[in-house]
């Protein structure tokens, strides 16, 4: 438990500063186009649902803070019937950040790029907010763990120092408490993937708590991709015993096998589905709860409601730090279990 407590303390340190800044930064963010009225602002009602959806969903622009320079217009890369088109998403938006402008025969409709002449969707390869967050997450992982690897080389035979000493207990925890017990004696083959999976989800969860950040691990496309990687690795490495237990379960009467077979086949696909939904729902729900509480200030227009909601947001944000670590742990744990079941040697269960 002491090791697990140490891991939780490190996760807490990684996210504490972002939690303290969360409420203030969201209050300072530029009003979203869903509730900005440029003619008669006072008559326009505050649409909390639109604001929350704008923050948790992907977008072609990235609002960081209030002001003209607080908005990043991301690159649009679209393959249309007239070929490839590359330009800044700035061309789709007017001066009030409303996506109402047509450019090069294309326009945004419900955050999807369509051709104005045909009304058909194009192949959208754009760098959206979540794609940008994905790249930032990947670059951060590379930088951090190159530094950790350098520390291992420099401090060979010595006590770990600096960033190495911070991440080494987490790496050992994932290896010794998650991967090794569940995969078994062939765990070394899968350890690089398991560590990458754990830290990718952990960093993505924590970065998503930063003010103005994108909802990377709350995007179902991202969680589905991670789950599909687990699905492929699990079934490609499945041994004869694994597949025989699915298609011809030993020790079971033939009539019962006819019932078990479809259940086992369905189980192959429900495992990645459960991984996808669990991470997606947990992270997105946390963001929605936080944003809903922040929106209470604008709905009631009361300083006391704002003060009370800010205290609750601070408390729930601390819980979200814990959830960030738990979801990375759970995803890695279940992946280890699935791989372990696929490569287990059932002829040596007595070991």
Q: What number is the average pLDDT over the span 262-290?
A: 94
Q: In a 3-state reduction of DSSP, which class is residue 86?
A: strand
Instruction: Say what the pLDDT of residue 16 is.
Output: 45
pLDDT surpassing 50 at residue 255? yes
pTM: 0.83
8-state DSSP, 178: I
The model's confidence at residue 153, banded by pLDDT at 50, 70 and 90, is confident
CA-based nearest residue to 108, from 32, 97, 56: 97
pLDDT surpassing 50 at residue 139? yes
Q: What number is the average pLDDT over the span 233-241?
A: 93
Instruction: Say what the pLDDT of residue 100 is.
Output: 82
Residue 53, number of CB atoms within 10 A of its CB: 15
Residue 190, number of CB atoms within 10 A of its CB: 20
Distance CA 22, CA 19 (A): 5
Which is more confident, 28 or 179? Answer: 179
The model's confidence at residue 300, banded by pLDDT at 50, 70 and 90, is confident
Which is more confident, 78 or 33? Answer: 78
Instruction: Say what the pLDDT of residue 38 is.
Output: 40
86-128 pLDDT per residue, tens: 999 988 988 777 888 898 899 988 888 999 888 888 999 999 9
Distance CA 216, CA 21 (A): 19
Q: What is the mean pLDDT of the chain?
A: 84
Which is more confident, 317 or 44? Answer: 317
For the chain, what percent of residues have pLDDT higher than 70? 85
- Give the C-alpha distances (Å, rounded to integers) separating 129 from 4, 23, 37, 160, 348: 33, 21, 24, 37, 49
Q: In the chain, what are the domain boundaries?
A: 2-23+129-348, 75-126
Which is more confident, 14 or 139? Answer: 139
Instruction: Say what the pLDDT of residue 15 is.
Output: 47
Distance CA 267, CA 247 (A): 12
17-52 pLDDT per residue, tens: 444 444 334 433 434 444 444 443 444 677 888 888
Instruction: Say what the pLDDT of residue 2 is.
Output: 55
Q: What number is the average pLDDT over the span 297-323?
A: 89
CA-based nearest residue to 188, from 309, 291, 48, 339: 339
Q: Is 51 exposed, middle or buried (0-12, 13-18, 19+ CB in 10 A)?
A: buried
- Give the C-alpha distances (Å, rounded to integers) separating 92 from 3, 63, 64, 114: 51, 15, 19, 12
332-347 pLDDT per residue, tens: 999 999 999 999 876 5
């Amino acid at each position: 438990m002491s090791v697990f407590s140490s891991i939780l303390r490190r996760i807490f340190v990684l996210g504490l500063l972002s939690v303290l800044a969360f409420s203030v930064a969201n209050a300072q963010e530029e009003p979203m186009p869903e509730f900005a009225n440029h003619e008669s602002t006072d008559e326009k009602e505050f649409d909390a649902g639109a604001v929350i959806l704008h923050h948790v969903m992907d977008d072609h622009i990235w609002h960081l803070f209030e002001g003209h320079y607080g908005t990043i217009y991301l690159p649009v890369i679209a393959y249309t019937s007239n070929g490839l088109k590359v330009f800044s998403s700035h061309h789709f938006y007017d001066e009030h950040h409303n996506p109402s402008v047509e450019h090069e025969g294309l326009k945004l409709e419900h955050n999807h790029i369509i051709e104005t002449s045909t009304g058909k969707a194009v192949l959208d390869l754009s760098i959206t907010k979540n794609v940008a967050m994905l790249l930032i997450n990947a670059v951060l992982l590379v930088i951090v763990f190159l530094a950790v690897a350098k520390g291992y080389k420099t401090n060979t035979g010595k006590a770990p120092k600096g960033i190495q000493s911070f991440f080494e207990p987490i790496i050992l925890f994932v290896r010794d408490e998650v991967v090794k017990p569940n995969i078994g004696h062939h765990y070394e083959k899968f350890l690089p993937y398991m560590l990458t999976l754990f830290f990718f989800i952990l960093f993505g969860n924590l970065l998503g708590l930063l003010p103005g950040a994108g909802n990377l691990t709350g995007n179902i496309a991202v969680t589905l991709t991670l789950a599909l990687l687990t699905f492929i690795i699990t079934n490609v490495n499945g041994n004869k015993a694994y597949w025989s237990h699915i298609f011809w379960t030993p020790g079971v009467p033939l009539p019962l096998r006819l019932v078990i077979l479809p259940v086992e086949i369905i189980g192959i696909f429900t495992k990645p589905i459960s991984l996808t939904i669990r991470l997606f729902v947990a992270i997105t729900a946390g963001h929605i709860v936080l944003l809903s509480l922040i929106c209470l200030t604008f709905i009631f227009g009361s300083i006391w409601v704002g003060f009370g909601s800010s205290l609750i947001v601070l408390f729930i944000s601390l819980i979200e730090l814990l959830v960030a670590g738990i979801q990375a742990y759970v995803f890695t744990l279940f992946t280890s279990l699935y791989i372990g079941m696929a490569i287990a040697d059932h002829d040596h269960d007595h070991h």
